Amino acid sequence: MASFSPISFNVTAVFASRSKLNPNEQRNLRRPEGGEATTFTRLPPKGDFVFGDSAVQVVRLSDSKPPASRAEKLIPEFERYELGSDGEFDDGDEEYSDEEEEEEEEIQEKGKGVPAVMRCFDRAKIYVKSGDGGDGVVAFRREKFVPLGGPSGGDGGRGGDVYLEVDGSMNSLLPFRKNVHFRAGRGKHGQGQQRNGAKGESVVVKVPPGTVVRESGGDLLLELLHPGQKALLLPGGRGGRGNFSFKSGNNKVPKIAENGEEGLDMWLELELKLVADVGIIGAPNAGKSTFLSVISAAQPAIADYPFTTLLPNLGVVSFDYDSTMVVADLPGLLEGAHRGFGLGHEFLRHTERCSILVHVVDGSSDQPLYEFDAVRLELEMFDPELAKKPYVVAFNKTDLPAASRNWPSFENALRETHGIEPLPMSAATRDGTQRVVNAAYELWKRNPMTTDDDDDDERRGGRNPGTNLNRVADEMEKQRSAPINEFVIAQEAGTGTWHVSGAGLERFVQMTNWRYRDSERRFQNVLEACGVDRSLARLGVKEGDTVVIAGMELIWHDSKNGGATSRKKSFLSDDSIDSDL
C-alpha cells in the first residue's frame, strides 16, 4: 500500500530536508568547494629538520619567532618562507586553504609565524568518492537454431568502496598536503551473454593513529585510534541491472536496463590528536627533546636553538613488563601561543588528551621563574582545563653553573607561591631524570585519563574493538536505500509547480536509463504504484501543472480514471508494476 509524507508548503524547508535525504543534491551543494580544494606543497624529507651545531643563543620569551639566521635553516629547499617587513615569518606557499575570506583571515592570524609543515601536520581536508556502479545493458541471445533468443544483458559491476585504515607507521597528516582527492573506480558495464561487469577498484586512505574524521563543516564521523583499524566509509554504487534481470512473466523481452547507481562523495576534515599519556611542555630550548631522548628510545632532533622541534615526538617509557607510558615532546611554547603566535597553538590541542604534563624549565636561563610563569599563563589562556591538569616541574640543566645559581630561589618561589616541589635534573648528564620520570609515572597512575572517548565510544567508532567501524557506511547505505514511497510534496506558493522529493525516488530517477523503450513506462508505473500520482491528485494538481521529481520536470495530464502524473507525453496505465521494485 502506497503512502506519502505530510505535505509542506514551505519550499525552503522541504529543500533543506531534501539535501539531507539525497546524496545527489548533497553533491551539487558541495561541488563548488571541490573547486577550491586545499592543495599543498610536497612534504620535505625528515632530514631537512636536523641541523648542525650552532652558537648558543639566548631567546627571550617575548620573541615570537626564530631569529632570521635560524629561519633560513628551517626552510626546506623547495619551501620558501620570507621574513616580511614586520619581521613575521611569512609563508611563501600560497596554495593552502582558500575557503571563505573570513576563515582565511582567522587562519592567518592564528598561523602567524608558523611554517606550513606545522600548520598542516595535524589537519587536512580531503575529498573522497566511492565508485559509480556500472550500467546494465540490453542484449538478446543470438544463437544458431534459436530464432527468438531471450534477454541476455548482464548487470553492471558495483563501484569501488572508500576505506579509511590506520597505518601505525604514520605520525602526521602531512602526506595529505599533496594528495587531496581519493576516488574509487567505477564498476564495469554489463555485457551480453549475461556477463556482469566487474567491481570497481576500492581505495584505501591511510591515516595515522589518533585521527579524528569529520564531514567537512559537519558531524564527527569516526575516531581512528589503533593501527590496523579499517573502516568502510563510502560504499560504492550498485551496478545497474541488465535486461536479463528484468525478465518476468509479463514481459519476456524487456528492452530496459538501469544506469549504475552513482557513488557517494564527501569532503572530510581530518584532525590528528596525539594519543599520549604525558605531555612535555616548556619554553623553547628548555631541553624537552633531550629529556625525551634519555627516558625513551625516541631520537628527536636536539639542537641549541628554539624551534628545533617542529612536530611533536612520541616516546614510550617502559617500567615493568606490562607498564608503559607514552610521552609526547611538544614544540616550545612562547608567550602569545594561545593567540596563535609561535608554534604554540598548533600543538597545544594535543595536550588535551594527556593525563598529566611535565613542565621542563631551562634552569640556566636569565629568569627561570618568569619563564615558568609565562608558560603556565599560556596554558591557562589557551584552555583553563589544560592548566588544571596535574603536572611535574623539572628544573633542567643543573650541570650548568647558571642553573645551580638559579636553583635555590626557583625552588623557594615554587614552594612558597605555588606549593610545588620542583625536581632538579640535567637531561644532558641524566642526573635526576629518573626521579622526574618516577614522579610523572606516579602522578599518571593516580590520574588516569577520563576522556569522553569511553563515554560515547560507540558513536565514534573508536577505542572499543567491538565497535562498528562501518557505521558511517551503514548509515549511508540506509539513507540511500530509503523506500521509494517515502516522499514529500511541496507546491511553490502561487504557482502550478510541485516538487516531489525523497531519497528513494531520486535514486530511482538517477538509475533510470531513458535510452531504452520500456524505461518510461516503468517510470510511470512506479509513480503510480508508490502513490505520487494519488497524492498529487488529492492535493489538487491541475492539468498542465509542472511536477519536478529529482530535478526532472514533468507535465501533469489528468487521466480518465482520476489522477496520475505523466511525463510530458501521455500517461500509460495499462502495464503492471515490475515485480522487482
Ligand X SMILES: Nc1nc2c(ncn2[C@@H]2O[C@H](COP(=O)(O)OP(=O)(O)OP(=O)(O)O)[C@@H](O)[C@H]2O)c(=O)[nH]1
Of 409, 372, 410, 406, give the one whose Cα is nearest residue 391: 372
Which span (173-181, 397-405, 488-496, 515-523) binds ligand X, by CB under 6 A? 397-405
Kindly list the strands in the beta sheet with 123-129, ordered across the sheet, starting from the edge strand earlier in the chain: 181-183, 123-129, 265-272, 211-215, 220-224
Task: Report in angstroms how near the CB of residue 167 gets to ligand X at its nearest.
Answer: 26
Residue 286 engages ligand X in binding (rule: CB under 6 A): yes
> What are residue 127's phi and psi, to 5 degrees?
-110, 130
Q: Is 290 in the site for Mg ion (CB under 5 A)?
A: no
Q: Which residues pair with 162 in a beta bridge?
A: 203, 234
The reply on whether position 244 binds ligand X by CB under 6 A is no
Task: Name the residue among 266, 262, 126 with its Cα closest to residue 186.
Answer: 262
CB of 308 to Mg ion, least distance (A): 5
Q: Does 289 bind Mg ion (CB under 5 A)?
A: yes
Q: How far apart are CA 206 and CA 164, in angstroms?
A: 6
Q: How far is the CB of 284 from Mg ion (least distance, A)?
A: 8
Site map for ligand X, 293-332, x if CB under 6 A? ---------xxx-xxxx---------------------xx
**Segment near ligand X (CB under 6 A), from 165-173, 285-293, 496-504, 513-521?**
285-293
Binding pattern for the stretch 560-579 against Mg ion, x by CB under 5 A and - elsewhere: --------------------
- Report if residue 290 touches ligand X, rule: CB under 6 A: yes
Sheet containing 497-501, strands listed edge to edge, beginning at the edge strand earlier in sequence: 488-491, 497-501, 546-549, 552-555
- Residues 6+ positions from 535 with CB-CB distance below 8 Å: 4, 7, 487, 489
Q: Which of 22, 191, 245, 308 binds Mg ion (CB under 5 A)?
A: 308
SS3 53: coil
Between 138 and 361, whose beta carbon lies closer to ligand X? 361
Q: Does residue 240 interact with ligand X by CB under 6 A?
A: no
Q: Is 309 a binder of Mg ion (CB under 5 A)?
A: yes
Interface with ligand X (CB under 6 A), residue from 151, 154, 240, 284: 284
Three-state DSSP state, 160:
coil
Which is nearest to 41 in space by CA: 152, 171, 148, 180? 180
Q: Which of the stretches 222-230, 307-315, 382-390, 505-513 binds Mg ion when contact is defined by CB under 5 A?
A: 307-315
Residue number with CB closer to Mg ion (308 or 510): 308
Per the CB < 8 A criterion, the answer to whether 70 and 150 are in contact is no
Instruction: Rank residues 65 and 288 by Cβ distance to Mg ion and give the closer one.
Output: 288
Q: Closest-CB residue for ligand X?
A: 332
Residues 401-460 that bind ligand X (CB under 6 A): 426-428
Contacts of residue 78, Cβ cutoff 8 Å, sequence gap at least 6:
41, 42, 44
For ligand X, the binding residues (CB under 6 A) are 282, 284-290, 302-304, 306-309, 331-332, 396-397, 399-400, 426-428
